[in-house]
Structure 1
Amino acid sequence: MADKNNAQVKIKKQEKPNTLHKKKLLIYAHYYVPDTASTGQILRELAEGMLDTFDITVICVVPSYLGTIEDKYKTQKYYEENINGVKVLRIRVPEFSKTNKMSRIKNILGYFFGAMAATFKVGKQDYVFSISQPPILGGLIGVWGKWMKRAKYIYNIQDFNPEQVLAVGYSKNKIVTGLMMWFDKFSCKRSDLVITVGRDLVETLNGRFRGATPPKSALINNWIDEKEIYPLEADNEKVVAFKKKYELEDKFVIMYSGNIGLYYDLENLLKVIEKFPTDTKAADGREVIFAFVGAGSVLDKLILYKEKHHMDNVVFIPYQAKEDLIYSLNAGDVHWCVNAKGIKGVSCPSKYYGLAACGKPVLGVLETGSEVRCLIEETNGGLCCEPGEYDEVENNIRWFIEHAGSVEVEQMGHRGHEDLIKNLTREESVKKYAEEILGC
């Protein structure tokens, strides 16, 4: 027994030096696994990927992305967990409904003020990292953490606000949007480093400070884990099962996968799809079908339009579990990657990385100079046109239909995949994050 205790002491002494040299990094994540929010997934992979460099703590809400909270998270104010080596401090927040704005606001404010208080529970930190979610408050909580911990602050901007709000006409109140801009510029100015996810977002950041010195910034692309999402053969058992379940067998599938929400102009794109009759055949003889996989605020409108106009070549498929995403993405022959007009420099559609990872050609409706359009055009990985150019959208759909099964279409997907493996892997992006944080 004494020998066993001595052995444990020796192990602890050997482990201690390995943790002493690590800098401490605090991440404000809002959502974190097991929540399915895309930013929560990115932050999980980022945190776990940097554990060799940093001792990492995440402050986030209890699992509640869909609005409901399990009973086990309703009895305490804070919950401490360890997920794959990452220390997680969860804050209890009120439940909410996505259709009730007031409940949503209460939930977000619960996170904001809860995170401020939770900051005092995590000890000394060398770096504080926050993202631009929730809008404006995500940046401000990072400034708070910097001041309270006397740490370097890294602000990761996934979406610019109020620019996004203005782009889709969600609010035209100049007082509200003016205050939003002031606060988010304040967060940028107080940061030691701003990391954006696209070259057009870098331009937006610099444009905010035209005539003054912009904050230090870096561009690091988002990613998808290329070891989890990759090309599969058409006869893969689970791909075949997915197609059979949703009646996609022997069809030429033009797929949209992701959030069916405000920022994608999907209602007008459905009107373009209406120009392709139900009996439209691709060049290789397969019937053409348009599949929408996901959910969001405009889904019901799309379903009503489809039913009213008898568009039997359009199907709607629920969100797929993360472990099944590889099969649904591989079931598409061509994939949409779209944004509404005005989103350039404001947001970057990260769904592109999944499409490239599974080696699929892309039907892009994206503004010239936007990050993902640049990636598609640089690799010749698909066809692109401007948002609102509906005649060109129709022409590009028709081109893919007329070239279905061709080597040309197949090579588009291959080129996008090769570029991702060479330049846009999870490992490469996480490495850049660690280097930029240490160097700020």
Structure 2
Amino acid sequence: MTACPTIWFINRFFFPDHSATSQILSDLAFHLASQGRRVGIITSRGVYDDPAVELPAFETVRGVEIRRVGRSRFGRNNLAGRAVDYAGLYVAFAAAVGRYARKGDWIVAKTDPPLLSAAIAPVAQAKGLRLVNWLQDVYPEVALGLGLHALRPIAPLLKAARNYSLRIAECNVAIGERMREHLLREGAPPERTVVIPNWCDDEAIKPLSKEENPLRRQWGLMDKFVVGYSGNLGRAHEYDTLVGAAEILRDEPNIVFLFIGGGALMPGLKAEVERRALSHMFRFFPYQDASLLPQSLCVPDLHWISLRPEMEGLIVPSKFYGIAAAGRATVAVTEPLGEVGGLIENFGCGETVQPEDSAVLATAIQRCTQKEALCEAMGRNARAMLDRTFSSSLCKKSWNDILTSPEIALHQLINCNAPVSRRDVTVKENASNPNGISLP
């Protein structure tokens, strides 16, 4: 009798780390283990925000076997040191796959460190393992788009190695439709390349009114219209459009821009706010404890998302799903025909603004302050969209199906990945609608 195969996930971070890729992987791994699946993790001994931490090499948590085989020595701020960290992790992870995985096991490789699948694919093929690529972003294209020109001479070799891993994989999982389209252009087999979006804890995160939200009261925002941002503000984003809109709205006493989190661009944003004498409009808070996320996501009346247009198809702002779970509208400064822009248009859950068009962004924000019923209706549309199409239970079921009956699941997912229209979502609303959003 053949032993039940183990599902091995590979990623730089895992529980108890709280970074975004770790949280969603931890959620899926613990879910699969609770369903009786054999689950193992090959990860590093470090955590995202503290290179001094060293976690145990072997541990079992909630039925998941954790094998920690390397760690980051130089952290995230030193580019050369990060390259050395990555090289060491590629070797350590590939060796661990060779040591722990058995023929017939599943190997699910995420993309942290970047291009991880290129290091794992040869080992998986040699050992008869079933490789799944779980792409959170697409490298080296992201690095080149962010201006890392030192990679340009070797980019064709990196792409070739990455594309080889796409071709031999049992399944490639993209987190957005535009990302899937990009992978198909790079030669990924269409019959084995599907979309399973990232998800959020939509059981814990639910719409919460300002009157019910103790965090909003604690932060003194009860009488304000709050435009919020939560999470990492990184190099794939831009804030000039938002700051320009804030300058236009500087004399609006009830508008506050709230930032919760950190990231590479956050110091520059704070400096620009100071330079333009806009500090009276901005509030900055560090990352909050994960237990407060259901409250913190409900503090804003309107959430702001940014993604540089050249990053479309390479990155998906997955924070959009948490915003939707909170029942809040989104104003996205990005390509209108991109991943988030398309969802906003299809489901009537916000507005999209072209980068550099600060005047249009200011008008959109001002309209939401004047028509709060419209803003609330877009938030309800967002939650309805999530429940209908992007719930955590649906996404985790898709993963379970892929890792149980891949041929059937792939066929079903490919046929079901077409976007759902807001016409399929029932939302009752009688608010006036000056900007043409159709509310069924």
TM-score scaled by length of structure 1: 0.86
Aligned to 1:235: 211
Q: Take 1:272 and 1:113, find their aligned partners in 2: how far apart are those partners?
A: 47
The structure 1 residue matched to 2:194, chosen from 218, 242, 246, is 218
Name the counterpart of 1:358. Answer: 326
Unpaired runs of 5+ in structure 1? 1-16, 282-286
- 1:340 partnered with 2:308: yes
SS state at 2:380 partner: helix
RMSD of aligned Cα (Å):
2.2
**Counterpart pick for 1:262 among 198, 222, 235:** 235
Deviation (angstroms), 1:21: 6.6
Query: What's the CA shift for 1:41?
Result: 0.8
Deviation (angstroms), 1:383: 0.9
> In structure 2, what is the Cα distance between the partners aligned to 1:31 and 1:215?
30
State how far apart, in whole Å, the 2-side matches of 1:259 and 1:178 are. 30
Q: Does 1:369 align with 2:337?
A: yes
1:251 alignment partner AA: K
Q: 1:417 aligns with which of 372, 380, 383?
A: 383
Residue 177 of structure 2 corresponds to residue 205 of structure 1? no
Residue 11 of structure 1 corresponds to none
CA distance in 1, matches of 2:208, 2:387: 15
Q: How does 1:165-204 map to 2 (within 5 A)?
A: 165-171=143-149, 173-204=151-182
Q: What is the rounded CA distance, in whole Å, between the counterparts of 1:357 and 1:174 in structure 2?
A: 40
8 Å contact from structure 1 (residues 126, 151) kept in 2: yes
In 1, are the aligned partners of 2:241 and 2:355 still within 8 Å (CA)? no
Q: Deviation at 1:247?
A: 3.6
Q: Return the match for 1:296 from 260, 263, 275.
A: 263
Structure 1 381/300 Cα, relative in aligned 2: closer, same or farther at 3 Å?
same
The 1:102–1:215 alpha-carbon spacing in structure 2 relative to 1, beyond 3 Å, is farther
* Partner Cα separation in structure 1 for residue 112 and residue 77 of structure 2: 19
Counterpart of 2:422 in structure 1 is: none
Partner AA of 1:199 in structure 2: E
Counterparts of 2:313 and 2:45, CA distance in 1: 32
Residue pair 1:198, 1:370 contacting (<8 A) in 2 also: no
CA shift at 1:107, angstroms? 2.3
Work out which of the residue numbers 266, 276, 280 in structure 1 matches 2:252.
Answer: 280
How many matched pairs? 403
Unaligned runs of 5+ in 2: 408-440
Aligned counterpart, 1:426: 392
Cα displacement string for residues 246-292 of structure 1 (whole angstroms, at most 9, x for unaligned residues): 44232110001111111111234223322211x404xxxxx110111
Equivalent residues in 2 for 1:91-170, closer than 5 Å: 91-124=69-102, 125-136=104-115, 138-170=116-148
Q: Which residue of 1 aligns with 2:52?
A: 69
Secondary structure of residue in 2 paired with 1:70: coil
Residues 64 and 95 in structure 1, CA contact (< 8 A), matched pair in contact too? no
**Structure 1: distance between partners of 2:189 and 2:255:** 52
What is residue 41 of structure 2 aligned with on the other side? 58
Summarize deviations over 1:404-432 as a string: whole Å, max 9, x none.
xx322111101110121122111110111
Q: Is the 8 A contact 1:57 1:89 kept in 2?
A: yes
Higher mean Cα deviation, 163-172 or 428-437? Answer: 163-172
Are the structure 2 counterparts of residues 97 and 28 from structure 1 closer, same or farther at C-alpha, using a change threshold of 3 Å?
A: closer
Aligned equivalents of 1:109, 1:120: Cα separation in 2: 17
Q: Which moved more, 1:352-361 or 1:143-152?
A: 143-152
Judging changes above 3 Å, is the alpha-carbon distance between structure 1 residues 28 and 213 closer, same or farther for their aligned structure 2 residues? closer
Alpha-carbon offset, residue 213 of structure 1: 5.7
Is 1:36 paired with 2:14? no
Which of residues 204, 207, 223 in structure 2 aligns to 1:250? 223
In structure 2, what is the equivalent of residue 13 of structure 1?
A: none
Aligned CA distance change for structure 1 residues 280 and 26 (closer, same or farther; 3 Å)? same
Q: Write the deviation string for residues 159-216 of structure 1: whole angstroms up to 9, x where unpaired.
A: 111221232323265313223222211221221211101111111011123xx96572
Residues 1:413 and 1:114: Cα distance change in structure 2 (over 3 Å): same
SS at match of 2:385: helix
Structure index of larger Rg: 1
Instruction: Read off the aligned partner of 2:120 and give its amino acid letter.
Output: G
Is the 8 Å Cα contact of residues 226 and 302 (structure 2) preserved in structure 1?
Answer: yes
Report the Cα distance in structure 2 between the residues aligned to 1:79 and 1:109, rounded to whole angstroms: 19
Is 1:154–1:437's contact at 8 Å kept on the other side of the alignment? no
1:139 partner amino acid: S
- The verdict on how the C-alpha distance between 1:415 and 1:214 changes in structure 2, with shifts beyond 3 A counting, is closer
Residue type at the aligned position of 1:182: A
For the Cα contact (< 8 Å) 1:116–1:145, is it kept in 2? Answer: yes
Instruction: Indicate the residue corresponding to 1:7 in structure 2.
Output: none
| CA gap 1:23/1:53 in 2 versus in 1, 3 angstroms | farther
* Cα distance between partner residues in 2 of 1:173 and 1:141: 17
Cα contact 2:210–2:222 (8 A) shared by 1: no
Q: Mean alpha-carbon deviation: is it higher for 307-316 or for 214-223?
A: 214-223
